[in-house]
Chain A
């Protein structure tokens, strides 16, 4: 049995999971229109590979990856591309971003996809390529391209692969249901990733209130995989927190899990890898929990790009001004600003909550409750002062970058200060500053190169005149030689001659 460790801070929250965690998921019907953002992951956005009016098949690439940290986007169903342009997307700081709009034709006809035979004989690098081509990103929430993590694993010695099934936010049960309904996908996917990164150990972790999921996995795991239940506490499912819980190790402040020999993937990512390997299927759908004030809270299997509005309608919800719609969990989710906002690869939950009257933001009373609950052991209060006074150097000094935006600090704040909002804003500003200084660096480099080039050109010109000078010099030398010869002749003549002229010559 693995010894479990404690992580700092955190909260015990009302789970509200009993509402949906024992209900069979529903296959969401085809929507009328789908919005597929070019960027559903961390990194560079994909580039459109189709044009308005094109007919596409399910699973066909409609936008290509544009770099190493980038993945393609696939058509979630067969249909026609009706537009490529800016539409609302779920993002904390951006309200609209480029999307491909797809109108389903109702056939849901698959593109030509091929399985990979015998993954355990396939080169890890090939698997990594396949995972990128299937558009697989971290489905737990951050959306980091899975192949990049795999590559790090392939290039470095991996001690432990962690498959994260710790769903710590209230209401969300999409991973729980996925495990219960598709446990074999998760277990096989875990084995595939393990093969790809050649990990020595592999741990699948779930929370201790996910008994049914645990049982489903327990039937399938062998000695090669370790199944662990971790105590329910928010944010136990955070990457760094889970690593601490399972291994007792801390991910370095400015480092990655791989720096301590760990690769961590979400259970849904493992299931997606399984589909990609055994069928060649890219990510076209995912489990989404619809919870809160809806008639029928349930997990849906939703095609990526389906508008939130459609998902809510399927669960019998009609919008009223009393409610607010949140994408993601109640702790880290985003307020939905448009009904067209689509479900993307990282969308795990849609919650309807009552619009509570806004409690006024009061001054900080320095109680320090925020520091007690911070799982990153930061000083949220100091970060707040620095963020508020735009002292970004100090904010960086106090490790704003280590903030995981879990919201624990803002949850406990008795002054109801929207702390996470301040941190996001400061992070965005720091990002901009860095971008600007990067651009300035580039401009400086361009300038120095230009100067160097000009000098070189100038040097080239003097080089030509130099060659002329050489010729001049040659003639000069020749003349000098001639003069000297003549002088020498005169000297010998003079030496032969007696008298003071000779002395003069000697002293001269």
Chain B
């Protein structure tokens, strides 16, 4: 019951903050909580997206380029968040994560820590340490993410049959 009360209060503050109704100390406190809470950040981002859409519709015009950009970039984000929500903390998780099938499309090759996908499908998020969701359309993609110094996403130009990183026409 107490949790529910807190939740209602949080939501009220979230809306007040979004509408610019918090000021002074209340605003500072909320921003401090916001900084510490990915869930709250997510809710605020969603509220802002929704608000933009509504304003656009009220104006009666077509959504602008920026709005489309945000919507387009927001769609994969929702999947990525779901992947993160489902996932336990990834301490000690190795490259073997990438051997998990990505929806209907499974990894076809694994060389060292490089994993080659025949066109990563957007149908399901992936849950690596770095890459949470990927869509390369029909193109194959090699993901090198198990390196402490960098993550490399190498997208092939064509079908992946026989393609491998370190050779083939995609490299030059």
Indicate, yes or no, whether A interacts with B: no
Interface residues of A (CB under 8 A from B): none
